[in-house]
Amino acid sequence: MKRVLLGLVYLFSACLAQGGGEALYKQGAAVYKSDPKAAFGLFVQAAEAGNPSAMTGAGHCCETGIGTKVDYAKAIEWYEKAVAHNSLKACEGLARIYASCDDPEFHDGEKAVKYASVIARKKPRDADAQILLAHAYLRDMQVDLAVKTITHAMRYTGSGDRSRELNAMAKKYKSGEPVPAEATDAWILRAADANVFWAVTKLAHMASDPGGSMYNPQLALKMCQKGIEAGKFEMYVRKGSVYLEMGELDEAYSCYEFAVKKKVPHGRRDSPELYLRHYLKESSANVFQQAEKKWKGYTIKGSPRTSKASEPSSNRAMLVKCTEWCMDAQCSDCYYSAVEDIKVDPNLKEACFLYKIADKKGHVEARARRAKIEQSINVYKHLLENSEGLDDHSLAKALIVEARKYMRNDVVPKNLDRAVEIYEKAYGLEAAPSTAYSLALIYKKREQTDLAITWLERAHASGLRGATKYLIRLYACSADPDVWNGDKAVEYATVLVEENSTDHVAHSLLACAQARSGQFIAAIKSMKKAQELLRASQPKNNSLKKRYEQQYHLFNHGEPWPPKKD
């Protein structure tokens, strides 16, 4: 009898707790948009009381950083508790984290497929569910299944921007590029071993970088050969650069020659023809001379070779007989029209390459010149290794200077991966909003919108209004429907207008946000205000005036901005 009474008391207490948990969850859901921090606290209380919806809500907050800091370990913990109560949303959250969160240490292809498969089975005609499963297959290195699944998802998207986006995504999938394109070194090694071409290319790049932690020329050559055997002839150029670094000029020449024969697409500056015709067969003195010109900011600009029969008139640029540059059998019949010593911006990337060739050919001064340039490339590593005596602010500021170098293509070779790495180290020392904004711009340039938004949110939370405006544009006007979030756009745009009520751009952004959330009457009112302020501040700005008129017209007809493409 005593046991029965204790059981009834326990059951009654559990029911009370569950009822209390439901009430707390509803309170949290009610304030989620207006006060996310308070909502997260209420979700946690309700989750601890056993409410499955609150467990999912707490997990979502930890996953996205809404109301708390991003904590994937905690998100997984809450989601797993909710999954034990058969929560599909929590199952979806686990699949997202394991397949495509922005911290590769949490990626787990096998678990991603396990949870994403549940969602796909429950929602077989839902494009988003199929896309999530495709991401999971990619993370699990099942490239064929990923391509098949993303193709299946296209059936449920119709035509338009979403369909074009999935077509572009399918092309990336065929190379095995995961979403996002972030992975641990261990994953890349395993994927390359499984012949995932994206990983093969990535590993070839990492193993051929003399300044990288995974520098291994033999591994780089192996990966290049694996790509070539798969029909990716652009790997001949990478293989040639590895041989060049090793000093094996004949092998390098052979690789570049194959690249030319296979008609490998190339850019103007790093063309195989350029390496093949102008440098590898030149004398060390000539190569060194060209490197000096690149380093000092001079170059030789020339026009295409012309035959002797069509020799240009004397008032054209100076005519030089093409004896060293041309590889044709009838070299004496060719001319090269050139103007020497044209002042341009220094290009240390090309200078370093030329010094490298001159060094391998035995030029005594080339090695010192090359070392000086490579020191500038590795300044950030020396900064980290010799940071004693520098406070966090000073070190972060110095690292940002180095990160910016990798955004261009002059001081050091352009390398967005390296820029991200250095910016993140700087942000870890000092969480400056401008650093977060710079990271967001890089990720947006690389079409990694989710990561771009994560960093924009951090910059916005620190008060950087440039990031706020960018977020509003993404949430309200993005070409990608998955990014749209009218409620958030309105929230941020309202803050923007309150802070600067005379800024016509702020009112225009608020109008776009209101239209995206379906508040067209409010959007028309905000747009009118934007037009009034524009007339008062910039009466001659006809292009902006025209755009505001287009926006007003669309909102008046119940359509958001930008207009639909035909």
Q: Do domains 19-175 and 378-461 have the same CATH topology?
A: yes
Question: Which residues pair with residue 338 across a beta bridge?
Answer: 302
Number of helices and strands in the chain (H, E) = 28, 4
SS3 321: strand
Residue type, 559: E
- Tokens for 565? 């493409």
Residue type, 542: N
User: Which of 9-13, 211-215, 365-369, 474-478 is predicted with the least confidence, judged by mean pLDDT?
Assistant: 9-13
- pLDDT for residue 16 is more than 70: no
Angle at the Cα of 64 from the Cα atoms of 60 and 66, rounded to 5 degrees: 85
The structural domains of the chain, with segments of one domain joined by +, span 19-175, 183-281, 378-461, 464-566
Q: How many CB atoms lie within 10 A of CB 232?
A: 17
pLDDT digits (tens, 9 = 90+) for 440-465: 999 998 888 889 999 999 999 888 98
SS3 445: helix
Q: How far apart are CA 173 and CA 150, in angstroms?
A: 8
Question: Which residues pair with residue 301 across a beta bridge?
Answer: 339
The CA-to-CA distance between both ends of the chain, in Å, stands at 76
Give the containing element (helix H, strand E) for 185.
helix 185-193
Could you tell me the fold of the domain covering 464-566? 1.25.40
pLDDT digits (tens, 9 = 90+) for 478-514: 888 888 899 999 999 999 999 988 999 999 999 999 9
- pLDDT for residue 307 is more than 80: no
Average pLDDT (190-217) is 88
pTM value is 0.57
Q: How many CB atoms lie within 10 A of CB 88?
A: 16
SS3 334: strand
Q: How far apart are CA 238 and CA 134, in angstroms?
A: 30
Contacts of 455-464 spanning 24+ positions with Cβ under 8 A: 457/65, 458/431, 458/433, 459/433, 459/434, 460/492, 462/431, 462/432, 462/433, 462/436, 463/433, 464/433, 464/434, 464/436, 464/437
What pLDDT is attached to residue 435?
Answer: 93
Q: How far apart are CA 76 and CA 90, in angstroms?
A: 9
User: Which of 12-21, 234-243, 519-528 is predicted with the least confidence, judged by mean pLDDT?
Assistant: 12-21
In this structure, are residues 419 and 442 in contact, taking their beta carbons and an 8 Å threshold?
yes
Who's near 380: CB < 8 A, 6+ residues apart?
A: 399, 402, 403, 422, 425
**CATH number corresponding to 19-175:** 1.25.40.10
User: Which of 167-176, 290-299, 499-508 is predicted with the least confidence, judged by mean pLDDT?
Assistant: 290-299
Q: How far apart are CA 285 and CA 496, in angstroms?
A: 61
User: Which of 11-15, 28-32, 373-377, 458-462 is predicted with the least confidence, judged by mean pLDDT?
Assistant: 11-15
Average pLDDT (387-413) is 78
- pLDDT for residue 471 is more than 70: yes
SS3 341: strand
Q: CA-CA distances (angstroms) from residue 380 to 353, 384, 432?
A: 21, 6, 18
Helices 161-175, 143-154: crossing angle, 10 deg rounding? 170
Domain 378-461 has CATH 3.40.50.2000: no
Q: How far apart are CA 139 and CA 98, in angstroms?
A: 8
| pLDDT confidence tier of residue 339, bands split at 50, 70 and 90 | very low
| pLDDT confidence tier of residue 298, bands split at 50, 70 and 90 | low
pLDDT digits (tens, 9 = 90+) for 74-83: 999 999 999 9
Q: How far apart are CA 90 and CA 396, in angstroms?
A: 38
Q: How far apart are CA 49 and CA 45, in angstroms?
A: 6
Average pLDDT (521-539) is 92
